Chains A and B, each alone.
Chain A
Amino acid sequence: MSEKPNLSLDARLARLPREMAPQRDLWPEIEVRLTHGARNQRRRHFALGLAAGLAAMALALLAAFHPRAVLAPRADPTLIAQTPASAGPRDAAFVRTQAALEQSFTVDLHRLPPQTQTRVLQDLEIIRNARADIRSALDANPQDPLLHELLADTWQQEIDFYTNVTSTTDSARMRWPL
């Protein structure tokens, strides 16, 4: 026994060194785990970015070409009226443009055959659902620049969508006056 025999137990405990050197260097294994973990995290971020990019591209294509038979018909024609324009960006000029386009879209929509109306509304619903999903993601992660970019994209896609529908009905009117 190296301790003095008459020293109290508490005193002996307090004299023990708090630091001890491990018998081997533990850092190399820690470093491997840290760098491996960082690489996996970068891969996850890349995959997330790629998935978001593909989703945005798919939305843009949908809005541009109005593909037939995307979903089973279930859209409600009152959908447009239920979604307030105030849910969009705060820029006044943008809001005015969006409201005007939406108004003429609503008028043009009723000139289309009922089956086409349903399909157009389905496409519009897809864009709005995507925006709702992105908004939910932003609630959880409000500083994410990618999500903000995607949200802005959905507004632009909706504007493009209205414009496309209007120009389609205009050209149809020119060919076959309604």
Chain B
Amino acid sequence: MNSRRDATRGGVRGFEALYREHVGAVYGLCYRLTGQRETAEDCTQETFVAAWRALPQFEARSALATWLHRIAVNKVIARHAGLAAKVEIAAADTPDERLREAAGTDATPPLDLERAIATLPDGSRHVLVLVGIYGYSHTEAAQLLGIAAGTCRAHLHRARQLLGQRMGLDEETS
């Protein structure tokens, strides 16, 4: 918890050290959850601003990285909920369109894993990222995302199916 203590004592300068230490993990999570660079940058910034404000209430019972992850997931989910409430998702933002855009052709050839993850529907992508990449349990992921554990499992199953199809994997490897 040294970085947290330094951040509390050292003001904004101290907090910058904490930011430098954790920005890679926070941005990586935000990027994979959103699938979009600019949105991930915004969420990363919002995460650190929120962390700065909540730092005095941070309890050393949980790891700082885990705490930042939780804030980051909340920021992504809140942004996603806000966007969904404001506008219907534009046609160019649907998974299939994103897939074509990522592949650069209408023929949709097999994609690499990172780009295939970015094309998944939001719910499936969120679960796949938290459970598949970051190693959260279904219960933890469901809690973070505010969904039921059963829904979490269904999303993961769907994500794996879609990834297998989009990456051209056979049944055994997917």
Footprint of B on A, CB under 8 Å?
1-3, 5-10, 12-14, 16-24, 26-27, 29-31, 33-35, 37-38
Chain A interface: which of B75-83, B87-95, B142-150, B163-171?
B163-171
Pair B160/A18 contact, Cβ less than 8 Å: no
Near A by CB (< 8 A), chain B positions 40-67 give: 40-41, 44-45, 48-49, 52-53
Is the CB of B128 closer than 8 A to any CB of chain A? yes
Is the CB of B114 closer than 8 A to any CB of chain A? yes
Pair B16/A20 contact, Cβ less than 8 Å: no
- A19–B68 Cα distance when bound, in Å, is 13
Q: B57: shortest Cβ distance to chain A, in Å?
A: 15
Q: Do A10 and B132 form a contact, CB below 8 Å, given A19-B28, A29-B45?
A: yes
Footprint of A on B, CB under 8 Å?
12, 15-16, 19-20, 23-25, 27-29, 31-32, 37, 40-41, 44-45, 48-49, 52-53, 110, 112-114, 128, 132-135, 160, 163-164, 167, 169, 173-174
Q: A28: shortest Cβ distance to chain B, in Å?
A: 10
Pair A18/B25 contact, Cβ less than 8 Å: yes
Pair B110/A1 contact, Cβ less than 8 Å: yes
Pair B45/A20 contact, Cβ less than 8 Å: no
Q: Do A30 and B48 form a contact, CB below 8 Å, given A9-B174, A13-B128, A35-B12?
A: yes
B-side contacts of A22, CB under 8 Å: 23, 27, 37, 40-41, 44
- A66–B39 Cα distance when bound, in Å, is 63
Pair B114/A1 contact, Cβ less than 8 Å: no
- A14–B27 Cα distance when bound, in Å, is 18
Pair A30/B28 contact, Cβ less than 8 Å: no
- A108–B174 Cα distance when bound, in Å, is 94
Q: B165: shortest Cβ distance to chain A, in Å?
A: 11
Partner of B114, one of A6, A16, A37: A16
> 12 A-B contacts, Cβ less than 8 Å apart?
A1-B110, A2-B112, A3-B112, A9-B163, A9-B174, A16-B133, A19-B28, A20-B32, A26-B44, A27-B20, A30-B45, A33-B49
Q: A145: shortest Cβ distance to chain B, in Å?
A: 18
Partner of B19, one of A6, A13, A30, A38: A30
Partner of B12, one of A1, A20, A21, A31: A31
- A30–B114 Cα distance when bound, in Å, is 27
